[in-house]
Amino acid sequence: MIRVGVNGYGVIGKRVAYAISKQDDMQLVGIAKRNPDYKAKLAIKKGFNVYSSGDPKEFENSGVGLSGTLQELLGKVDIIVDATPEGIGKENKALYEKAGIKAIWQGGEGHSISNLSFNAYANYDSAIGARYARVVSCNTTGLLRTLFPLQKEFGISSVNAVLVRRGADPSETKKGPINALEVDKHIPSHHGSDVNTVIPGLSINTVAIKAPTTLMHLHAVTVELKKSATKDEIIELYGRYRRIALVSLKDGVNSTAQVMDIARELGRGDGDMYEIAVWKEMKAEGNKLQYFQAVHQESDVVPENVDAIRAMCNVEKDSQKSIDKTDKSLDIGV
């Protein structure tokens, strides 16, 4: 059993903790929270041990029974998943180093934090036995999920993608916009170069826009393939990857609202959509492919964290076996 801790129990941390608790080769030793808020209380209700990365007295005053401090949690685990806000993970690195444990960070941190950026389909093998890794962001994970199969099967000459990003997560009230479309100040946006931290040398250009929605990101992707492909071949290819869900206008799925309705209907914890939804209504002409995909920002990175743990802790050297195990435990594959 791999002993795992989760530091930061927000949007990503609570989902990763739940996923770890579903693995038969991992033990969730506990989660660390900064504040004794409702999420800390719900974690205890779920049977998770809560540790404090803030002031233990505040937890005591709020009636949240602690199992110890973050430092104590670090002393009990083989690996910690850091899911603290962007930039804070970097500050925590010294703590993990001191504790002599392995660590995984999220996409808010830069590639240099671990010099190993992870996606299960694209580079599982490079994480085997690694001490540190970073699971790339939700958008980058979404791009890698659908680009990796194309690269493997047909080869890619170039990628151009427009990313319409959600303005905030559903539980956030301080972000926006709430009535505008906001252009990313960087052209290209950082997402393309982030893809290159996992697939070096891939020619990819991305631009990004923030939209007043909380449900999902939507990507419009144009790929120049090295070998020509038909639409049916692409659909058949994507059908072989469980972490891609093919959806169709013909079934009444014409927006992220219906994709997330499907996720809720599936009855998963938090109504999550771990799969990247790709519309069957794509265009493949010669070497050129154009498609739309939707990314559930809150959950697509969750199975990636589980696989990264398995690779780094050397318990499964076969990427497909780890992916199969993770997918089965989380009921992935629509």
Q: Which residue lies nearer to ligand NAD by CB, 299 or 322?
A: 299
Please give the Cα distance from 86 to 107 (Å, whole number).
8
Contact between residue 11 and residue 299 where contact means Cβ atoms under 8 Å apart:
no
Q: How far is CA 304 from the centre of its chain?
A: 6
Please give the Cα distance from 285 to 283 (Å, whole number).
6
Please give the Cα distance from 169 to 84 (Å, whole number).
15
Contact between residue 212 and residue 176 where contact means Cβ atoms under 8 Å apart:
yes
Q: Catalogue the active-site residues.
A: 138
Which two three-digit tokens encode residue 71?
A: 């430092």
Shortest-Cβ-distance residue relative to ligand NAD: 10
Residues in contact with ligand NAD by the rule CB under 6 A = 8-13, 33-35, 53, 83-86, 88, 106-109, 137-138, 169, 297-298, 301
Which two three-digit tokens encode residue 68?
A: 């110890």
Cis peptide before 188 (omega within 30 of 0): yes
Report, in Å, the least distance between residue 7 CB and ligand NAD: 7
Contact between residue 295 and residue 141 where contact means Cβ atoms under 8 Å apart:
yes
List alpha helices for 104-182, DSSP H.
120-123, 138-153
Please give the Cα distance from 76 to 17 (Å, whole number).
16
Contact between residue 182 and residue 210 where contact means Cβ atoms under 8 Å apart:
yes
Please give the Cα distance from 125 to 311 (Å, whole number).
7
Please give the Cα distance from 116 to 130 (Å, whole number).
8
Q: Which residue lies nearer to ligand NAD by CB, 157 or 212?
A: 212
Dihedral pair phi/psi, residue 72, rounded to 5°: -65, -40
Q: Which residue lies nearer to ligand NAD by CB, 68 or 287?
A: 68
Residue identified by tokens 């808020």 is 37
Quick one: CA torsion of 19, 24, 29, 35, rounded to 10 degrees? 10
